Amino acid sequence: MASGLTGCLSPIAMHRAVLEYDRTVSHVEADLLLLNIARARYHRPVHFTAVSSVAATFDFRTNAGISAGLGRAVDPDQRPVNLEYSASVAGNPTITIVPITGEEFTKRVLRPLDEDKFEFLVRPGYAINMVLRLMARGIALDGEGGPTILFNAPSEGEGYREFRRRLLHLAGLDGERKLFVGPVLFEESQTVRTNRPPNPDEVVAALEKGIRWEGDAEGKVHTVRRKAVGRLLISNYDPGRLSNEERRGSMRKRTAFRRTMCWWTSGPAIREATIPFMGRFCCAA
């Protein structure tokens, strides 16, 4: 009987204990994140601490017995039969708390966010205006007189309000399924002159690398073609509808810039929109 009750109670107690440990660790991580946000806001040094491991042992004990009096008694109530039962649970947790430091961690914190991380957050369906508010330092609007910078900082006043308007415009396009976010795909080609056509082994090796060969009638002039992945583009049109030359020319203009910039461009349809603009988002660290 005692062993049966122990088997029933121990899973319940362990289930609650595991959930409470997990909930506590999650709350600690959330509180530390908010604390460091406040530290960064007031230009105080940030400090991260992690709960690296939680190990706990549980001791489940049960006792059961029957007690009764012995000998003759005038009144039977003087020797009642008593059933005794007790159960106890003891936990012995070992929690390891480690400060997160080191060169690798410092590089991760100071490294600016790039377009790959932006695409990773936008692809699952997160609101693009909220992602850009968290990631972008500002917008560089391209104009005839040079770029105009709209900073993502409330202290900028009208510039910040205009920054928010631009993001809400993108969110509206996204809600209408008129926004395309992704890298531009195009094909690169190069002409190669050889004294002989490539042999089968060379052709197979080139195909494995994504390279295609196209030769002339004499087999001496070959055009080598390769699929390429360009920079991330945010647009109100499908870049796949452009010709390969247009896509390749567009990417050549942007390769000189760092990958911490996400590009916005507009097609003819945007000219009639409320807020037409072209530019780039500068991601923050």
Q: Which residues in the chain show pLDDT less than 50?
A: 1-2, 5, 268-275
- Give residue for tokens 């790959």: 116
Residue pointed to by tokens 């060379």: 202
Tell me how far apart the alpha carbons of residues 285 and 112 are, in angstroms, rounded to a whole number: 4
Q: Which secondary-structure segment (H or E) carries 75?
A: none
Which ranges of 176-230 would DSSP assign to H, the alpha helix?
200-208
Q: Are the CB atoms for 224 and 192 separated by under 8 Å?
A: yes
Residue 222 CA to residue 194 CA, distance in Å, equals 8
Provide the whole-model pTM.
0.58
The tens digit of pLDDT for each residue in 125-158 reads 888 888 888 888 888 887 777 778 888 888 888 9
At residue 139, the pLDDT reads 84
- Taking residue 55's Cβ as centre, other Cβ atoms within 10 Å add up to 9
- Residue type (1 letter), 66: I
Length in residues, the chain: 285
Please give the pLDDT value at position 2. Answer: 45
> Residue for token digits 């052709």?
203
Q: How far is CA 190 from CA 69, 208, 217, 223, 228, in A?
A: 104, 18, 17, 6, 13
Helix or strand (DSSP H, E) at 127: none
> Model confidence over 256-267: pLDDT tens digits?
565 555 555 655
